[in-house]
Amino acid sequence: MKIIMFSVREDEKEAVKAWEERNNISVTTVGEDLSSANIDLVKGFDGLSIQQVTDLHDEAIYKKLADFKIKQISLRTAGYDVIDTEMAKKYKLTITNVPAYSPRSVAELVLTQTMRLIRHFPSLESHMAHGDFRWRGLVAREIHTLTIGIIGAGKIGSTSARLFHALGAEVIAYDPVRREELEAVLTYKESQKEVLEASDVVSLHVPIDLSTINLIDEEALNQMKPEAYLINAARGPVVDTEALINALEAGNLAGAALDTLTNEQGVFNQDLRKQELPDDLEKLMDRDNVLMTPHIGFYTTEAVRNMVDIGLNNTVEVLLNGKSENEVR
Ligand code: NAD
């Protein structure tokens, strides 16, 4: 069995090598994203693993893969919107993803950004960059005195809740699906509104779908306390960016930490030093109560290893058994 793996970053290579040795299966790695320009590289391989940001909605790609007798495409990511699932079906390609990889990776970023926000780091750092080392007015609150609101207590939300609970914070959550075992670390509320109204820090961990686009809009932001912080390490469109900028400018919110942004594609993980930034990003980055990170929540050694291992395991499962528990339907 031979597998070809596209979009392989340097930091994935060690995990790929270890997987090859454990499984005695050969994996050829390619740095570029899979596209119609390099599709012929797949010829002669049995399995295909990808992880890309560029779109794969070109029928010619699916046709070629079928011609090359490829049976599956394994994504090393949770999201699979780069794939045309109808095309995949037409050409009998089984698509798999990696639905969960180290929830700690994102939860620890959320904890880090919460601590940085409540200690006023964005403000302090911006003053210090200009030689102003005064701290008057920047008195911080301690984490164990705060109420942390989790919207969406799934894998990442519940892991974040456990971390905050361990530090003595009171954790409240809204999730239509309740898990009894979480009641040891958090208190469920009946509505999102109740969580927004009572929290000092609100952290979003919902999936993206039609019902969660702009979940945090002007009305929701108005329900938050003016001294509260908002954290979005879920997906950009969950927050209405314009409404957030307005709330920050009006002083209706103490600050925010964003690891994702609507329209982040083509911006995050790109070198834009010689280019103008999108307006909304520029406005957010100019503020001294906002922390931006370029969608790096997932980027830890453990999560990268999980994505490689699960992605390659899914490939083998489909090739050997024709199915996988991580099949995208
Ligand atoms: P999950 O499916 O385990 O949990 C999502 C939870 O949200 C579920 O419990 C669900 O019942 C709940 N939910 C759904 N709609 C809701 C709503 N309207 N209000 C409240 N709760 C709602 O997902 P997860 O693996 O924990 O991922 C959470 C988010 O984190 C996703 O958006 C995912 O894309 C994102 N994510 C970000 C990064 C990153 O690098 N920043 C990495 C991985 C995942």
- Counted domains in the chain: 2
Q: Is residue 132 over pLDDT 80? A: yes
Tell me if 60 is assigned to some domain: yes
Are 60 and 206 part of one and the same domain? Answer: no
Domain span including residue 226: 103-292
Q: Across all residues in the chain, what is the average pLDDT?
A: 96
Is the whole model's pTM more than 0.75, yes or no?
A: yes
Ligand 1 centre distance from Cα of residue 208 (Å):
7
Contacts for 159 with CB less than 8 Å, ≥ 6 apart: 103, 104, 106, 107
Ligand 1 pocket check for 259: Cβ under 6 Å: yes
Q: How confident is the model at residue 81 (pLDDT cuts 50, 70, 90)?
A: confident
Are 169 and 242 part of one and the same domain? Answer: yes
CA 37/CA 34 separation, integer angstroms: 8
- Span 7-47, pLDDT tens digits: 999 999 999 999 999 999 999 999 999 999 999 999 999 99
Are 10 and 130 part of one and the same domain? Answer: no
- Span 103-112, pLDDT tens digits: 999 999 999 9
Are 79 and 157 part of one and the same domain? Answer: no
Q: Give me the CATH number covering residue 314.
A: 3.40.50.720
Measured by CA distance, the residue closest to atom 22 of ligand 1 is: 152
Q: Is residue 53 over pLDDT 80? A: no
Active site residue 59: no
Beta-carbon neighbour count of residue 81 at 10 Å? 12
Atom of ligand 1 nearest to the CA of 151: 20
Tell me if 147 is assigned to some domain: yes
Beta-carbon neighbour count of residue 5 at 10 Å? 26
Ligand 1 centre distance from Cα of residue 153 (Å):
7
Q: Is residue 49 over pLDDT 80? A: yes
Mean pLDDT over residues 226-254, rounded?
A: 97
Active site residue 10: no
Q: Two tokens at 46?
A: 């049995």
Are 85 and 196 part of one and the same domain? Answer: no
CA 103/CA 297 separation, integer angstroms: 9
Active site residue 108: no
- Span 282-299, pLDDT tens digits: 999 999 999 999 999 999
Ligand 1 pocket check for 233: Cβ under 6 Å: yes
Cα 84 to Cα 41, 111, 218, 240: the distances in Å are: 20, 36, 34, 27
Ligand 1 centre distance from Cα of residue 174 (Å):
12
What pLDDT was estimated at residue 260?
Answer: 96
